[in-house]
Chain A
Amino acid sequence: MSIDTPTPTLKSAMGDYWSRVKSGDIGSLPAVLGLIALCAVFTTMSSFFLTPGNFANLLTQAAGVIVIAMGLIFVLLLGDIDLSAGYSAGVSGAILVILVTNHHWGWAPALAVSIVAGIVMGLVIGSLVSYLGVPSFVVTLAMFLAFQGILLLLAGEGGTIPITDKTVVAIENSNMSPLLSWAFYLGASALYILSGLRKMAMRRKAGLKSELVQLWALKTFGLLAICAGAVYSLNLERSNNVALVSLKGIPEVVVLILAILVVGTFFLGRTSFGRHLYAVGGNAEAARRSGIDVKRVRLMAFVICSTLSAIAGLIFVSRANSVSPTTGGNATLLYAVGAAVIGGTSLFGGKGKMRDAILGGLVVAVIDNGMGLLGYAAGIKYIVTGLVLLVSAGVDALSRKGSS
């Protein structure tokens, strides 16, 4: 084994990490630090910020944007963009609501149709970008307008169509019972620990150097401790009027987001499709010469993006109990792009992870929520979020310069 340096120690691992950070490979570090700093600031300035009720609210508020951002990451990894992702969520949401409310369909077939609509939107965008060669910025800008038009036609001018289906509304408005919440936490933690241990064992069996056990334990149990704290606080009563209604437990949408996180992370990290996405984003010509079907990879990325947007559409209509011509509109798309970039995904392609969407989405939601609590006008919130996005994109550009 001539290539690798001797077995790492905790100190050398830290040193390696630090040199990576210095060379510009900072990943999600700014998002994590930013999240901590923002929470500290808002906690001292508003007595309501760090209450269980607001924490749960923050998660459900961020959910839709996070799911769109998770889809966008597939497209951003290629160095492309989907500006229509907000309105494709709106269109899918409208299809769901119209089928359930106006045509009395069950939620399951209606959801299936709305997701198929997402897939079709992705196929259209992806084909235009990949096979016709129109830049994604232009195609999706056109689709941004077209989907907005479709949504307007579906929802009816100025109209709002309500939805009362229990399952759909539950996504953003119901919680698991505290007992089930803990059971879910324990089950998920056990799986997480097992998969980490399995990976190390397999590498050792193959005679390969594996990650330092202490470091792995530190990261894993640190993350699980933070999650335990979150579950504990979500299990506290957060209803203003307990006699009327009791509110406690993990919001259902959190489970949905974690499921997408796990599946997406698996695809990106463990399958050849994921590897090819990174390769095309890193050097499309190299990928092509290696025999990768670059056009198909690009098409697939847009399909995945729009499909996740359709799921975000479900979250939006669940939260609002309705669909309107502005569902998925306003700042939704910019918040989602911001979430991905703030989380550490590069706009230049080739760099990004599913978890970036969650970290960045939380940063965006904390700014929105915290400044709202402090009584700032929407205008100020937009300006601050815009500046944060600009700073993240600047950091992205600088770190790219630093590494090349």
Chain B
Amino acid sequence: MSEPILSLRNINKSFGAVHVLRGVDLDIYPGQVTALVGDNGAGKSTLIKCIAGIYTPESGDYHFDGKPVTVSGPRDATALGIEVVYQDLALCDNLDIVHNMFLGREKKKGVTLDESHMELLARQTLDGLSVRTVKSIRQTVSSLSGGQRQTVAIARAVLWNNKVVILDEPTAALGVSQTEQVLHLVRRLADAGIAVVLISHNLTDVFQVADNIAALYLGTMAAQVKLSEVSTNQVIELITTGKSAGVTKTEAKK
């Protein structure tokens, strides 16, 4: 494996008396899809919020590109090139695809919006991701299907040359063919050199696209392993019991 772009060591996070993350280690590699799995309440969303600067862990080390960094707010994470696509997507239904992709970061010519430039860039990004399912780039997001909306949200994350893109359950609400499309998109992101983190409860999806897999169990990292080295049953064991014969915790650090 190449050097991780982002690595967390011994992360601890509590909400009051509830110790949600207990000494979590995680490595994320460029050009790879890292699947983050774990049962409901295992701490997946909390962990990515720590990465994104929404929560600040009580202790632990955060390394980006080999250097120690402090991320104390969403702006710090954005500045590093980390973008999170949350489960509720956060798109404006009343605006079109181009407007949504550039929301809050509009390109301007003097005081006026440079619509042509934004449309060209948006189109290039979608073309680069081989997105062919939307009819017009100027249609409002309200007229898109769930998969297309997910596509727009992911494309927005890609547009800004991010190094790390984190997707929280991107296929949770999608049908078979749309899930397929989004998974292809996830794969293409990684193939373009981006470090992708995919949170999913669906192990079929995970085994289809991921390169390595990190399993959280009750706030501890049960294991982070290469996908090729584990079977579905072993992953299920990791998720439900926190351990599995033949998988050791240290494998994450090799």
Contacts and interface: CB of A to CB of B under 8 A. Distances in A.
Question: Are A and B co-members of a single complex?
Answer: yes
A270 B106 CA distance: 11
A292 B78 CA distance: 14
Interface stretch (A157-165, A283-291, A381-389): A283-291
Contacts of A282: 92-95
B92 A287 contact: yes
Interface string A377-404: 0000000000000000000000000011
B143 interface: yes
Nearest to A16: B136
B96 to A, nearest CB: 10
Contacts of B104: 276, 279, 287, 290-292
Contacts of A287: 92, 103-104
Contacts of B140: 25
Interface in B70-103: 74, 78, 86, 88-95, 99, 103
A296 interface: no
Contact of A272 (B78, B90, B106, B120): B106
Q: What bracket does the count of chain A residues touching chain B fall in?
A: 20 to 34
Contact of B105 (A5, A271, A291, A404): A291
Contact of B134 (A3, A275, A403): A3
Contacts of A44: none
Given A203-B116, A206-B117, A270-B113, A404 B93 contact: yes
A23 B93 CA distance: 14
Contacts of B136: 3-5
Given A271-B113, A286-B90, A290-B103, A3 B131 contact: yes
A275 B106 CA distance: 9
Contacts, number: 96
Contacts of B131: 2-3
A279 B103 contact: yes
A248 interface: no
B119 interface: yes
Given A1-B123, A3-B126, A4-B135, A271 B91 contact: no
B108 to A, nearest CB: 7
The majority secondary structure among interface residues of chain B is: loop
Contact of B93 (A5, A275, A350): A350
B142 interface: yes
A229 interface: no
Interface in A270-307: 270-272, 275-276, 278-279, 281-283, 285-287, 289-292
B127 interface: yes
A153 B89 CA distance: 52
A279 B112 CA distance: 17
Contacts of B245: none
Nearest to A286: B90
A206 B92 contact: no
Interface string B134-150: 11110010110000000
A13 interface: no
B111 interface: yes
A120 B112 CA distance: 27
Contacts of B119: 206, 208
A207 interface: yes
A300 B83 CA distance: 29
B137 A3 contact: yes
Given A208-B120, A286-B92, A350-B93, A2 B142 contact: no
Interface of B: 74, 78, 86, 88-95, 99, 103-106, 108, 111-113, 116-117, 119-120, 123, 126-127, 130-132, 134-137, 140, 142-143
Interface of A: 1-5, 23, 25, 202-203, 205-208, 270-272, 275-276, 278-279, 281-283, 285-287, 289-292, 350-351, 403-404
Given A2-B131, A3-B132, 6 more contacts: A3-B123, A275-B113, A279-B104, A282-B95, A290-B105, A291-B78
